[in-house]
Amino acid sequence: MPLTLDYSNVMVENIGETHGISESMLQTIIQNGHDVYNTLKEKAVQDILGFYKLPFDQQLVKSIKDYAEVARGRFNNYVHIGIGGSALGPIALQTSLRNSYYNFNEKPKMFYPDNVDPDWIQELTDHIDVSKTLFHIVSKSGGTAETAATALHFMRYLNEALGDDFYKNLLFTTDPVEGLLNRIASEYPIKCFRIPPNVGGRFSVLTAVGLVPAAISGIDIGQLMQGAAEMAEICKTTDLKKNPAFVYAAIHYHYMKKGKNISVMMPYSNKLKDMADWYRQLWAESLGKRLDNDKNIVSTGQTPVKALGATDQHSQVQLYVEGPNDKVLSFLEVEKFNNDHSLKNYFTYIKEFNYFEGKSLGQLLNAEKKATELALTNNERPNLTIKFPQIDEKSIGAFFFLLESATAFTGGLLNINAFNQPGVEEGKIATYALMGRGGYEQKKLAIEKQLKKKKTFEI
Ligand code: PA5
């Protein structure tokens, strides 16, 4: 198995009756879980939920590898223009599987401007030669304001540099048919990869959305998909007590019902910190829902929080150990770091440093994780650990799939639709209205009326 799930510290034996889960509680959720399992399986078989099949798409891997090889030879820079599900997975891949200083030494340099802060975007623009840059515009809907605006920003410079040949530096990843990017692609011979319509943005990291930048930066996407495929098989386990995605879901479902509405993901690894960011979107957008499938108002969800061990031991852990017992903590632990060396006490006259002798930074980091885990457990705070034997393509692919599958199970247990995002759409529509997009005039009037009710201080 590429990963390990240790959930001992949510059980009654370790954190007591008040906050712990007993075997029989787990068993009850498992009994109800069989229907959820069967419904999801049916939706996977019927191709309603496309993310289940993604890890097995060998043809996609091949075509992206071929494309990436050419792109690596042609471009000095790669700029990934997308937001939310069209950016967080790619960023997590870059952070976890490429050197943190990749852009100092490697080509193409990789950039992920996933916000429209004009200062930030201009700093990037001034840093790159656009004529030697591939702009990958990623939008499933093809119309997201931030993505479109960032693309238009760079178009100004591309037009200046390349004139009518601007399209040669563009790559689109979007819906097969719908959306404005397809309208542009019908005018110019722009290379397009597709996001299957049955795969939602936050479940799309194993499509061209994540695979293209990964392959361009030299990540072995075959191994990534292999890890995901192996986890996909594990997550099919019908004995739900042995199904890690279901167990993760059952634990979080139980605590949501008990009012623990915060899910902290705390990697003890800088390489995994953006995996927690990716999880934050997956968990928040999928499970934060007003209505259940029967249209009852449930206002359900768990606020995902990202923390970083050991850094946040000196910032957040006091709260986690002694503050409100309203959280479930998921640690991410790395068993064997890819780079780790023994320390030596160069200041032998300071005996207090002797305990470092022969120990490594990795040992210290993992001891700190263990210490935090114990402190939480001793204070009846539910926590679990997902252990990576090592950070590599396979374990990262497996992690993506595990959490996607767990999210689907949790949505099923909550009887909500984990695959839509009406709240996000509402914000997108308000943005269009505020920016004066045609067709949103009524919305704009309503917003202007609402904005008059403001109470502000001049400070
Ligand atoms: O998960 C989702 O569906 C969203 O977060 C989207 O990924 C995000 O809003 C960007 O949408 P699009 O890819 O259509 O530009």
Q: Is CATH 3.40.50.10490 the right assignment for the domain spanning 52-219?
A: yes
Taking the centre of ligand 1 as the mean of its atom positions, its distance from the CA of residue 65, in whole angstroms, is 24
Distance CA 156, CA 162 (A): 10
State the pLDDT at residue 448: 84
**Fold (CATH) for 4-43+239-414:** Rossmann fold (3.40.50)
State the pLDDT at residue 66: 98
Cα 328 to Cα 28, 262, 316: the distances in Å are: 20, 6, 14
> 428 an active-site residue?
yes
Shortest CA distance to 159 belongs to which of 135, 186, 191, 193? 135
Domain with CATH 3.40.50.10490 in the chain: 4-43+239-414, 52-219
- The finding on whether 286 has its CB within 6 A of some atom of ligand 1 is no
**Ligand 1 mutation pick, 51, 91, 115, 140, max ligand atoms within 8 A of CB:** 140
Q: Read out DSSP for 128-196?
A: S-GGGEEEEEEESSS--HHHHHHHHHHHHHHHHHHGGGGGGGEEEEE-SS-SHHHHHHHHS--EEEE--
- The finding on whether 85 has its CB within 6 A of some atom of ligand 1 is yes
Distance CA 197, CA 296 (A): 27
**Ligand 1 mutation pick, 81, 83, 280, max ligand atoms within 8 A of CB:** 83
Which atom from ligand 1 is nearest to the alpha carbon of 203? 1
State the pLDDT at residue 277: 98
- The finding on whether 410 has its CB within 6 A of some atom of ligand 1 is no
- The finding on whether 304 has its CB within 6 A of some atom of ligand 1 is no
> 314 an active-site residue?
yes
- The finding on whether 139 has its CB within 6 A of some atom of ligand 1 is yes
**Ligand 1 mutation pick, 91, 115, 136, 141, max ligand atoms within 8 A of CB:** 141
State the pLDDT at residue 372: 98
Taking the centre of ligand 1 as the mean of its atom positions, its distance from the CA of residue 195, in whole angstroms, is 11
Taking the centre of ligand 1 as the mean of its atom positions, its distance from the CA of residue 408, in whole angstroms, is 17
Distance CA 224, CA 396 (A): 7
- The finding on whether 418 has its CB within 6 A of some atom of ligand 1 is no
Q: Which residues of the chain fall short of a pLDDT of 50?
A: none
> 285 an active-site residue?
yes
- The finding on whether 133 has its CB within 6 A of some atom of ligand 1 is no
Which residue's CA is minimally distant from atom 7 of ligand 1?
85
- The finding on whether 201 has its CB within 6 A of some atom of ligand 1 is yes
- The finding on whether 113 has its CB within 6 A of some atom of ligand 1 is no
Q: Do 201 and 192 meet the contact criterion of CB atoms below 8 Å apart?
A: no
Look up residue 52 and give its two tokens.
């289940």
* Cis before 213 (ω within 30): no
Q: Read out DSSP for 230-297?
A: HHHHHTT-SSGGG-HHHHHHHHHHHHHHTT--EEEEEESSGGGHHHHHHHHHHHHHHH-EEE-TTS-E
**Ligand 1 mutation pick, 421, 426, 432, max ligand atoms within 8 A of CB:** 421
State the pLDDT at residue 164: 95
Taking the centre of ligand 1 as the mean of its atom positions, its distance from the CA of residue 421, in whole angstroms, is 9
Q: Do 110 and 104 meet the contact criterion of CB atoms below 8 Å apart?
A: no
State the pLDDT at residue 457: 83
> One of 107, 236, 258, 428 is an active-site residue; which one?
428
- The finding on whether 207 has its CB within 6 A of some atom of ligand 1 is no
Q: What is the DSSP letter of 421?
A: -
